[in-house]
Amino acid sequence: MRVPIRSLRRAVAMSRSGHTNNWAVLVCTSRFWFNYRHIANTLSMYRTVKRLGIPDSNIILMLSDDVACNPRNRLPATVYNNAARHLDLYGENVEVDYRGYEVTAENVIRLLTGRHDPAVPRSKRLLTDDRSNIFVYMTGHGGDGFLKFQDAEEIGSHDIADAFGQMWEKKRYHEIFFMIDTCQAASMYEQIYTPNVLAAASATVGQNSYSHHHDSELGVAVIDRFTYYNLETLERLKPNDQSSMEDLFRTYRRDLIASTPGILRDHYPRGTKQALVTDFFGGVQNVELTLSGYPSRKKSRTVETNVSNSG
């Protein structure tokens, strides 16, 4: 892609976050039919980040994947996040990287820190660097300081904090946005101590996180409130949107979410007014800046830069 050199100032402004690539780690820690909404939460975020520009090669999706083809599913090979069934989240190309019993606390920590067995393929690795913006989304059942994995084990707030700490030491990220939808979700970011980490949680300590609505034919809730109202905002955005993270946080209403959302800004010096939503939910593309318009018969000098899809 070529743009005239006169666009250089605008291009630099677009890439003010300083990152050159985007990644997403999307983790559903639940399994079983009655946790349908957690699978739908995760697939909804998966669809959103893909639509806004993050390619599958930069998305790590961890999912039990036992809902679409569950014998109880009256609509086989589908997953919906709305009782009206406007959109089949499972109908398009879905690449699940960690499936079923591969979704463990240990594998999440290994993924984040890069401490894999040599046999683990590249498609299951988070191949980030110190210019990577990472969106980490987690949903499931949790409590004060822990998140359950498939009713078999837990990951604690200290585990998440230490994983982010190792990532910072190893220069595995530029900025992280950590979003978690579970009961007492804010307790999961309380131990974070590393810089350039922004976090949002569905409920503060002592509060539950609630589902939004259910599908009477399926007999289960299809999405959680916090994820639902985030999606209401995110679905209106396009890859070049200039909405800030502060704009997103201002849409959080306790009367709709039915709990008090938590925001961690303490370790994010850039500020939520300067950070764009698409700095985390969007992708980055390479743009070639030229000294002349395109096309041109004359040979032009070029300058390589990186521009976020957010501009």
Q: Could you list the active site residues?
A: 141, 183
**231 phi and psi angles, rounded to 5 deg:** -65, -30
DSSP states of 115-171: ---TTS-GGGS----TTEEEEEEEES-EETTEEEETTTEEEEHHHHHHHHHHHHHTT
Alpha helices in the chain (DSSP H): 8-14, 36-51, 105-113, 157-169, 225-234, 245-250, 254-257, 278-281
**CB atoms inside a 10 Å sphere around CB 296:** 12
């639940």: which residue's tokens? Answer: 30
């679409």: which residue's tokens? Answer: 68
**Tokens read off for 284:** 């980055």
Q: Is residue 229 within 8 Å of residue 256, measured between CB atoms?
A: yes
Q: Are strands 132-139 and 98-99 parallel, antiparallel or unpaired?
A: unpaired
């393929």: which residue's tokens? Answer: 121
Q: Is residue 106 within 8 Å of residue 155, measured between CB atoms?
A: no
- Helix or strand or coil: residue 241? coil
- For 80, residues 6+ apart whose C-beta sits below 8 A from its C-beta are 40, 86, 87, 88, 89, 215, 222
**Tokens read off for 140:** 């499931």
Q: Are strands 262-264 and 197-201 parallel, antiparallel or unpaired?
A: antiparallel
